[in-house]
């Protein structure tokens, strides 16, 4: 599938931007240099007639992305949270991509529900509304359960969405391989691996059973988080292409007028949404990775309500510690430590000079700290950091792509509520709390306890392991063990004593 036929798809992409009038707006938004503008115009105009016309009632950029398909719409959703990157006008235009796309018919939605659950819509619901929100992959209907009278949200995948997404991702793979071919320097960025990473994430959205499972796990993690809540899943009314959950009432995050009218403190909300994301990422290693305004509401009591769990991020404990130390180093302006963490984690080749890298990081951090609050940007930090790591041969870390992308999106959401938010000041208490809990004496004791638990699981197997080791290393009919002891027995005994010692230290530390 990933052959030269994708050239046609990419040509039509450029032609669609030209035909819809979006090319100029996009080039202006990204402040493209004159050469790139000339090249885009030269290549775009001859093929303009090949582009999709799109919905002429929409603004140019929105019109182009909706015409091109779901993968492009996802890209537009991300840009809609970044007015500091594309400008306020385009960001506002793209915001309709979050939940205001053209819907499919209610008849198709009802048929999908009945096919997935084996239940008749009229038997389950007393009401089933037309779509109240329509996004790139699915749309949502409000319904009322016949049995309990509870209002629920029924999410249904778009017909044919799986095939459409695979077609777009196929073209992205082709483009990534072409970039690697014509630009060897780009290979360190691993563009094909990046596309593969996002393919896995996006394909997970196309099975709503996985989304239901993710929502359940997320709810278990955040049960004690004050000011943050999730809708509950109705498993018996859900399937691969349908998901039913409790209805979430509240003001949409993208409607600042409604938030103000409800009397909510936007400054406090902006800080809380950023801190919640960091807390979930660092504390749990499992976070909502699609936290744009269309997936967030403010409840009447001021709680943040998150929904749409199709894209969730996961990072292991070690990566969390590395990420936290890097953030903390920048917050404390300890660039030497930030450099050391990069080397310790293997992010930068060991043949590079750590002091030189630290000086380069200082050149990244200091200008940002010199900015006023409205200009401090995680997006800019990542951009500057990218330039530095490129010079030092750092490869793209696919395990951090989703985390970094979501950090930029959440920053955009927070800044839409409070343009003056100081990102570092808001992040600091969460990062410092994680550092105290996970890096230091407490973390050491906890790690020792976990090691003891692992060693204890091998306790019942130790006699068999010792016997097997003795049999392998003994030469009959020589005696297996004399007063001096056998090396295999010493090794097995050492493992046992070591495990017991670790268990004893942990028990003492926890007062057991």
In this prediction, residue 420 has a pLDDT band, given cuts at 50, 70 and 90, of: confident
CB count in 10 Å sphere of residue 261: 10
Q: Is the pLDDT of residue 22 over 90?
A: no
In this prediction, residue 72 has a pLDDT band, given cuts at 50, 70 and 90, of: confident
Out of 168, 290, 308, 418, pick the active-site residue.
290
pLDDT value, residue 418 = 92
Convert the pLDDT of each residue in 274-285 to its tens digit.
999 999 998 999
pLDDT value, residue 54 = 81
> Phi and psi at residue 54, in whole multiples of 5°?
70, -175
Q: Is the pLDDT of residue 482 over 60?
A: no
Nearest to 134 by CA among 257, 326, 308: 308
The three-class DSSP label of residue 321 is helix
168 is a catalytic site residue: no
Of 110 and 61, more confident: 110
Cα gap 372→388, rounded to integer Å: 23
Q: Is the pLDDT of residue 96 over 80?
A: no
> Phi and psi at residue 128, in whole multiples of 5°?
-145, 105
Q: Is the pLDDT of residue 498 over 60?
A: no
pLDDT value, residue 39 = 63
Find the mean pLDDT for residues 483-491. 39
In this prediction, residue 141 has a pLDDT band, given cuts at 50, 70 and 90, of: very high
Q: Which of 1-5, 60-64, 148-152, 382-386 has the highest mean pLDDT?
A: 148-152
Convert the pLDDT of each residue in 38-47 to its tens digit.
766 666 677 7
The pLDDT mean for the chain works out to 78
Find the mean pLDDT for residues 304-312. 90
Classify residue 186 by burial, with Cβ atoms within 10 Å: 0-12, 13-18, 19+: middle
Residue with tokens 């994708």: 6
Residues contacting 59, CB < 8 A, separation 6+: 93
Nearest to 290 by CA among 381, 382, 215: 215
Find the mean pLDDT for residues 12-34. 74
Find the mean pLDDT for residues 111-134. 94
User: Cis before residue 141, ω within 30 degrees of 0?
Assistant: no
Full 3-state SS string of 251-312: EECCCHHHHHHCCCCHHHHHHHHHHHHHHHHHHHCEEECCCCHHHEEECCCCCEEECCCCCE
Which has the minimum average pLDDT: 216-230, 255-269, 329-343, 360-374?
Answer: 360-374
Convert the pLDDT of each residue in 323-377 to its tens digit.
888 888 888 889 999 899 888 888 888 888 999 989 988 887 787 766 666 666 6
Nearest to 292 by CA among 126, 113, 98: 98
Domain boundaries, the chain: 6-97, 249-439, 442-509
Residues contacting 394, CB < 8 A, separation 6+: 188, 342, 347, 348, 349
Q: What is the dihedral of CA 384, 387, 392, 396, to 10 degrees?
A: 100
Cα gap 151→397, rounded to integer Å: 43
In this prediction, residue 113 has a pLDDT band, given cuts at 50, 70 and 90, of: very high
Which has the minimum average pLDDT: 267-281, 307-321, 427-441, 469-483?
Answer: 469-483
């Amino acid at each position: 599938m990933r052959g030269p036929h994708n050239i046609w798809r990419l040509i039509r992409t450029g032609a669609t931007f030209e035909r819809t009038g979006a090319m100029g707006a996009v080039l202006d938004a990204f402040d493209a240099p004159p050469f790139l503008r000339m090249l885009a115009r030269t290549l775009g105009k001859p093929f303009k007639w090949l582009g999709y016309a799109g919905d002429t009632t929409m603004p140019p950029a929105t019109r182009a992305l909706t015409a091109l398909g779901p993968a492009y719409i996802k890209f537009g959703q991300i840009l809609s949270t970044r007015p500091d990157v594309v400008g306020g006008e385009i960001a506002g235009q793209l915001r309709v991509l979050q939940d205001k796309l053209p819907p499919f018919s209610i008849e198709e939605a009802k048929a999908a529900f009945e096919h997935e659950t084996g239940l008749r819509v009229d038997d389950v619901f007393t009401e089933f509304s037309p779509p109240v929100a329509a996004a790139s992959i699915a749309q949502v209907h409000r319904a009322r359960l016949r049995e309990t009278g509870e209002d629920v949200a029924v999410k249904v995948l778009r017909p044919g969405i799986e095939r459409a997404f695979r077609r777009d991702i196929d073209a992205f793979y082709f483009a990534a391989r072409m970039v690697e071919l014509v630009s060897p320097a780009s290979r360190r960025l691993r563009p094909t691996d990046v596309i593969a990473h996002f393919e896995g994430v996006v394909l997970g959205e196309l099975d709503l059973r996985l989304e239901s499972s993710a929502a359940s796990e997320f709810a278990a993690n955040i049960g004690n988080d004050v000011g943050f809540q999730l809708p509950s899943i109705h498993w018996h009314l859900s399937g691969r292409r349908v998901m039913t959950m409790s209805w979430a009432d509240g003001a949409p995050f993208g409607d600042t007028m409604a938030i103000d009218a409800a009397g909510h403190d936007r400054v406090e909300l902006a800080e809380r949404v950023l801190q919640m994301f960091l807390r979930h990422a660092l504390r749990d290693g499992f976070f909502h990775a699609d936290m744009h305004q269309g997936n967030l509401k403010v409840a009447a009591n001021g709680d943040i309500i998150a929904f749409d769990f199709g894209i969730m991020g996961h990072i292991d404990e070690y990566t969390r510690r590395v990420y936290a130390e890097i953030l903390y180093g920048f917050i404390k302006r300890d660039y030497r430590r930030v450099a050391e963490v990069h080397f310790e984690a293997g992010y930068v080749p060991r043949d590079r000079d750590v002091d030189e890298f630290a000086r380069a990081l200082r050149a990244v951090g200091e200008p940002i700290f010199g900015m006023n609050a409205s200009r401090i940007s995680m997006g800019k930090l990542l951009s500057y950091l990218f330039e530095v790591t490129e010079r030092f041969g750092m490869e793209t870390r696919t395990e951090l792509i989703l985390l970094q992308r979501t950090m930029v999106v959440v920053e955009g959401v927070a800044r839409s509520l409070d343009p003056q938010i100081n990102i570092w000041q808001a992040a600091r208490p969460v990062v410092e709390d994680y550092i105290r809990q996970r890096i230091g004496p407490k973390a050491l004791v906890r790690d020792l306890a976990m090691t003891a638990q692992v060693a204890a699981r091998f306790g019942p197997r130790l006699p068999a392991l010792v016997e097997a080791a003795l049999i392998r290393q003994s030469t009959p009919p020589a005696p297996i063990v004399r007063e001096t002891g056998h090396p295999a027995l010493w090794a097995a005994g050492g493992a046992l004593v070591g495990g017991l010692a670790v268990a004893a230290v942990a028990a003492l530390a926890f007062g057991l």
